[in-house]
């Protein structure tokens, strides 16, 4: 048996123990893809589901920092087997960031090397039985997210967008990309949707509003909901405490809870 088929068998074994594999996509970077992935992982695990978070955004692996575990390292559990980093009892994470010597140095591996590492994240990591594997994929619809999607046979996708037209154009591409890959599209999340003025409490639509809902309707996919712009989200991300647990009473956390309900409802219907 050659080495490749051996690796393939290991990947298949891992995948057989993971019920749902969800890719978080965005048409472009900076729209809150990692923020959504991190908080989704936390929110699902708080519902007593077993969750793994896989950060394969090669050039911006921020998940570990957002979860406060960026200084952890992957530990070997015997030959060719690696333990994921435990965030809580029900939540573990594997990130490209754990392989970097220095946080400030960009990853400059060439394509095949990167893909080999991603394959190991599936074949060699002992994820165990998971209800959900949430994957933070590279932004956009180019070569890199495509290779990731081909390597990780996902079962579903979520698309994160911001409300302005330029971002929406990219999101249309992201929805079509997920369709071409035959993924079940859970829906579109509109992030950074309206800022609540800390002084008067009124909503300021910095980036317009409602665009995510419009493209979801236009493309015939579910609109999962809006997450407002909230300075506490930046604080929480920077301090390694996902906003969903950082401030459960905030409008953003409440909106996010409803989004998670919708995702779980969609799943139970299939
Ligand atoms: N709803 C929001 N309100 C305020 N800041 C946000 C919101 N969503 C994301 N951010 C911040 O915007 C920045 C980019 O988000 P990130 O999740 O890293 O985007 P991406 O993964 O798409 O590049 C981060 O600093 C994050 O904390
Ligand atoms: Mg990111």
HSE-up (13 A, CA, CB side) for residue 268: 6
Give the torsion through C-alpha atoms of 140, 141, 142, 145, to 10 deg.
80
- Say if strands 203-204 and 85-88 run parallel, antiparallel, or are unpaired: unpaired
pLDDT average, residue stretch 170-195: 92
Q: What would the pLDDT profile of 20-70 be if each residue is shown by its tens digit?
A: 999 999 988 899 999 999 999 999 999 999 999 999 987 778 999 999 999
pTM for this structure?
Answer: 0.94
pLDDT average, residue stretch 214-240: 93
Domain CATH code at residue 121: 3.40.50.300
Give me the number of domains the chain comprises.
1
pLDDT at position 104 over 80: no
| Residue identifier of the C-alpha nearest atom 26 of ligand 1 | 234
Q: Give the Å distance between the CA of 52 and the centre of ligand 2.
A: 17
Q: Taking the alpha carbons of 10, 11, 16, 17 in that order, is the dihedral positive or negative? A: positive
Atom from ligand 1 closest to the CA of residue 26: 22
- Say if strands 85-88 and 223-229 run parallel, antiparallel, or are unpaired: unpaired
Residue 206 DSSP symbol:
B
157 lies in which domain range? 3-269
Q: Give the Å distance between the CA of 145 and the centre of ligand 2.
A: 13
């Amino acid at each position: 048996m050659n080495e490749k088929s051996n690796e393939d068998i290991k990947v298949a074994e891992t995948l057989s123990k993971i019920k749902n594999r969800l890719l978080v996509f965005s048409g472009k970077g900076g729209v809150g893809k990692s923020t959504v992935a991190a908080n989704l992982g936390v929110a699902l695990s708080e519902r007593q589901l077993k969750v793994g978070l896989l950060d394969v955004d090669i050039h911006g692996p921020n998940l570990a920092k957002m979860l406060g575990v960026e200084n952890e390292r992957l530990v070997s559990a015997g030959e060719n087997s690696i333990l994921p980093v435990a965030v809580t009892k029900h939540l573990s994470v594997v990130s490209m960031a754990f392989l970097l010597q220095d946080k400030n140095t960009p990853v400059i591996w060439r394509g095949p090397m990167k893909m080999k590492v991603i394959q190991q994240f599936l074949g060699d990591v002992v994820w165990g039985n998971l209800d959900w594997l949430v994957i933070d994929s590279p932004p956009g619809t180019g070569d890199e997210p495509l290779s990731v999607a081909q390597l990780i046979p996902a079962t579903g996708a979520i698309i994160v967008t911001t409300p302005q037209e330029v971002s929406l154009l990219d999101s249309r591409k992201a929805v079509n990309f997920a369709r071409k890959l035959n993924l079940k599209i859970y829906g579109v999340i509109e992030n950074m949707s309206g800022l609540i003025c800390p002084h008067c409490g009124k909503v300021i639509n910095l980036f317009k509003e409602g665009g995510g809902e419009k493209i979801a309707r236009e493309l015939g996919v579910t609109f999962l909901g809006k997450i407002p712009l909230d300075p506490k989200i930046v604080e929480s991300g920077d301090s390694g405490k996902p906003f969903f647990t950082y401030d459960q009473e905030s409008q953003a956390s409440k909106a996010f809870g409803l989004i998670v309900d919708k995702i779980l409802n969609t799943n139970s219907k299939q």
